[in-house]
Amino acid sequence: MLKKRVIFTLLYNDGSFVLSRNFRLQRVGDIRWLQKNYNFSHISFFIDELIVLDVTRGIKNEELFCEHVRLLTKESFIPIAAGGGIRSLERAKELLHSGADKVVVNTLISESPKVIEEIAIEYGRQCIVASVDVKKINNQFTVWTNNGTIKQMYDLSTWLDNINNLPIGELYLNSMDKDGTGQGYHFDLLDAIPNQFSIPVILAGGAGKHGHLSSGLDDKRVDAVATAHLFNFVGDGLERARNKLLHDNYNLAKWDVNKINEFKERLL
């Protein structure tokens, strides 16, 4: 049986890391603040992957974002996925050459699926994560792109059908209604997944404590759970959450901290 995963998501806006609540952004701190409060050389032992999304609305400083991704990859031994504003194979290359293991695409799904195919040909489908932002309106799940500003004409099930036909490695399914609330995941989103959907699912939006992560992992349709709630998991929050999950026998990877530290020392 494949291991399930716990993923930490960092939201990046115009040079700073931010909190998001229903896609309204609040600045928290710059890269120095992040390094001070989140020692990723240590936190890496308690999460399985890191996702970094540039949610800047307006002109993005792509070079600076790549530099910050590069700094994060130096501190972490776990896989890192990066995205936000990818519109071309060249931009995907820049992020991957900055140390990212995967790229996250969103608006590209509607604007230019051909570019997704180009990335897959160059690097393989396993390195592409499709991010889908969903809002419930009149009891229907609607899909939004461009940082949650443009509503697509297709409902969620049809959108996921389209994604299933693209060379996508994973789906990042994010509830805009639950985003940043810390009230738990929106499990009804999973009911919209087509029966023949073959792509692993990362559930996001709403996690604020250990119990929310465990509830997500309990669902057989979920391969990984994600949280972007910086303050609920500051300090040793992620460490305590993972240790509780392992204590409760969730099927997560177990890292031997001592062996990894010995390996790091040999590389220095």
* Residues designated as active site: 133
If you search the block for the tokens 């669902």, which residue do you land on? 219
From CA 193, how far away is CA 201, in angstroms rounded?
A: 10
From CA 156, how far away is CA 171, in angstroms rounded?
A: 13
22 three-state secondary structure: coil
E-assigned strands of 84-185?
Answer: 102-105, 128-137, 140-145, 150-155, 170-175
Q: Are 92 and 119 in contact, with CB atoms under 8 Å apart?
A: yes
Q: Are 209 and 182 in contact, with CB atoms under 8 Å apart?
A: yes
Sorted by sequence, the CB contacts under 8 Å of residue 56 that are 6+ apart come out as 12, 13, 14, 84, 85
